[in-house]
Chains A and B, each alone.
Chain A
Amino acid sequence: MSLLEFRDVTVDYASNEGPIPAVRGVTLTLERGEVLGIAGESGCGKSTLAATVLRLLPANAKIGGEVMLDDVDVLTMNWGKLRTVRWAEAAIVFQGALHALNPVQSIGDQIAEPIRLHKTAKDVNARVAELLQQVGLPASRAKSYPHQLSGGQRQRVMIAMALACSPDLIVADEPTTALDVMVQAQVLDLLTGLVRDLDMGMVLISHDLGVLGTTCDRIAVMYAGQVVETGAALEIFDQPKHPYTKALAGAFPRVGDPTARYAPAGLPGDPPYPGDIPSGCAFHPRCAIAIEACATTTVELVGGVRCIRVGA
């Protein structure tokens, strides 16, 4: 039994122009003790997919397929059951810690809130102190307010909140995007250490393939609401097969790689608008190796790659 299973998940946002597909049939699994990376650009559907785990989407979103959390479909849960699942079984570390924290409440109170609501610990203050220590902050910091902390410390507070009710699953949405490299390394070390020590599972969302390649066990690369490549993390980072993954990997050059010197690799064009997805392979208008058939053939995920030019 997997900790988390997406089975052919779709998400459509209702709009005046009709339903807009943000996620178009994603199937992925995550085991305990494992870190699954989801890569892709803004608008590719990665945050929407993650939000289905806790059904945190706005009312105009229609979710299809199944999201199995410990073999129970989150999408069919009633509200009461869903509330017990949120925080206690699965928790989210949101991006932008400065905006996600309440500026007029001490961080200790904010970490304590889910503990009080879910009554998961008798001595709330002791639990808060323990959590702060787990994320590498002194327990005395509980009295601090968000503005008194640095960006890295705030992100640690967000992680402590997510851990508050000892969830089995953590979804971290761009947890290090606004942070410096050194602080990023500290936060990623902390997250992967916690997954290992507490035997949790983690879904890590990022647009930086380098971060995912060195942090995750497996990666799924998304484009226009679909998984276009999936496999072992280092393999995808080191030997990407799909032309889109190649472009993503090339965007963050390896220091010392002579081919990247004075030659920043970009990808012309913009990702498609979800309401107007190109026919055939959604990536074909931007693809450097596209052939005529790419515009008309519906491409399936074969051997972890959704591309008719790979392995052909």
Chain B
Amino acid sequence: MILSTRDLKVAFGPVRAVDGVDLDLGAGEILALVGESGCGKTTLARTLLGLVKPTAGTVSFEGKPLDYRKLKQYRRQVQLVLQDPLGALNPRHTVYDAVAEGIRIHKVDRQAGRLGRTDGGPQGDEQELVADALSRAGLRPPERFFLRYPHELSGGQRQRVVIAGALVLQPRVLIADEPVSSLDASVRGEILGLLLKLREELGLTVLVVTHDLGLAWNIADRVAVMYLGRIVELGPTADVLQSPQHPYTQALLSVVPDVERTEQIVLKGEPPDPARIPSGCRFHPRCPVVMEACLTTTLPVLTPDAGHHTACLRVG
């Protein structure tokens, strides 16, 4: 496992944003973490990046728990791709500066021999590294983009610059938070295709945080559905999306616009407050098939193996 969590909890005061998550990311895997706003998916991603320190539990990289006093090396290995590329890029930095920033912070080119890969990846100077990252991200020829500013680029090109900025440090893992939600329909497929290509060419592991189930169907090997700080269903994409077991996953899938529409299960209200997580099954107040026992029975954290698992009393 390249990245894993065990009994991970992150609380902000009374708000239990991540409330017991076991997750394993295998090398070269694409996992989609789906859920509504406020379910804790972004907090989980930030914790995996080492930007938030867990309240309890561990994050391990290649089997070793993170050392929160020495994260710089780790941050090279696990890079973030932000949503909204217009907001993520400094409008007064050229494309070159935006991509080179990581190299400068990590002083990669001067230490290329020591820090750089030995697997044939580029070892040269800053300019070569930037050019390589841009062309991997699909901006070719890269030199043509060096001196452009974000406002001169289209939305899709900007997102490619953001991805190039993450790639330039030759990370092992990309964590992409809603990588296509602010992009036009036609660009969306291009960027998702790029993520698949990077996995194939570089063996990158990708965690995609999204509320878009179509995206998960497009590129993910496995899907984890999160609700109120817990993963409530986990498994191979085809299993989870084609025969969803958890009533919450079933509801999410039923509202995806589709012509062969099955009966829509529109849940009432919004996800409850993570400061007051319901007793028993945390989904019970909104569950269409709730039983008496759901109010009181506490459900265990799901096993993070490759199988299909569901946190629901009615299943199994």
Are A and B interaction partners? yes
Q: Which residues of A contact B (CB under 8 A)?
A: 41-42, 150-153, 180-186, 189, 207-211, 213-215, 234, 237-238, 247-248, 250-257, 260-268, 270-271
Q: Identify which of B7-15, B105-113, B263-271, B305-313 touches chain A.
A: B263-271
> Is B53 close to A, CB under 8 A?
no
- With contact pairs A181-B211, A213-B259, A261-B218 given, residues A267 and B241 touching in the complex (Cβ less than 8 Å): no
> Is B37 close to A, CB under 8 A?
yes
Q: Chain B nearest CB: distance from A263 CB in Å?
A: 8
Q: Which residues of B contact A (CB under 8 A)?
A: 36-38, 154-157, 184-193, 196, 211-214, 217-219, 237-238, 241-242, 251-253, 255-259, 261, 264, 266-267, 270
Please determine whether A248 and B185 come into contact, CB atoms closer than 8 angstroms: yes
- List of A residues within 8 angstroms of B261 by Cβ: 214
Please determine whether A182 and B251 come into contact, CB atoms closer than 8 angstroms: yes
Please determine whether B259 and A184 come into contact, CB atoms closer than 8 angstroms: no
Q: How far is the CA of A39 from the CA of B46 in the complex (A)?
A: 35
Q: How many A-B residue pairs have CB under 8 A?
A: 124
Closest residue on chain A to residue B248 by CB atoms: A182
Q: Of the candidates B154, B185, B211, B252, which one forms a contact with A209 in the assembled complex, judged by CB atoms under 8 Å apart?
A: B185
Please determine whether B257 and A211 come into contact, CB atoms closer than 8 angstroms: yes
Query: Which 8 A-B residue pairs are closest in the complex by CB-CB distance?
Result: A266-B189, A210-B257, A267-B186, A264-B192, A185-B255, A266-B190, A251-B185, A264-B189
Q: Chain B nearest CB: distance from A244 CB in Å?
A: 9
- With contact pairs A260-B217, A266-B190 given, residues A208 and B185 touching in the complex (Cβ less than 8 Å): yes
Please determine whether A182 and B267 come into contact, CB atoms closer than 8 angstroms: yes
29 A-B residue pairings within 8 Å (CB atoms): A41-B185, A42-B184, A150-B38, A152-B270, A181-B36, A181-B211, A182-B266, A182-B267, A183-B36, A183-B270, A186-B266, A207-B184, A209-B185, A213-B257, A213-B259, A214-B258, A214-B261, A215-B257, A237-B259, A238-B259, A253-B214, A257-B217, A260-B214, A264-B190, A266-B188, A266-B191, A266-B192, A267-B190, A268-B190
- With contact pairs A255-B256, A256-B242 given, residues A189 and B211 touching in the complex (Cβ less than 8 Å): no
Given A152-B270, A182-B36, A271-B184: 17 more A-B contacts, CB < 8 Å: A41-B186, A182-B267, A186-B266, A189-B266, A208-B185, A208-B257, A214-B259, A252-B188, A252-B257, A255-B214, A261-B218, A263-B218, A264-B189, A264-B192, A266-B187, A266-B188, A267-B186
Q: Chain B nearest CB: distance from A226 CB in Å?
A: 17
Q: Of the candidates A237, A238, A256, which one forms a contact with B217 in the assembled complex, judged by CB atoms under 8 Å apart?
A: A256
Q: How far is the CA of A271 from the CA of B188 in the complex (A)?
A: 14
Q: How far is the CA of A271 from the CA of B189 in the complex (A)?
A: 15
- List of A residues within 8 angstroms of B255 by Cβ: 181-182, 184-185
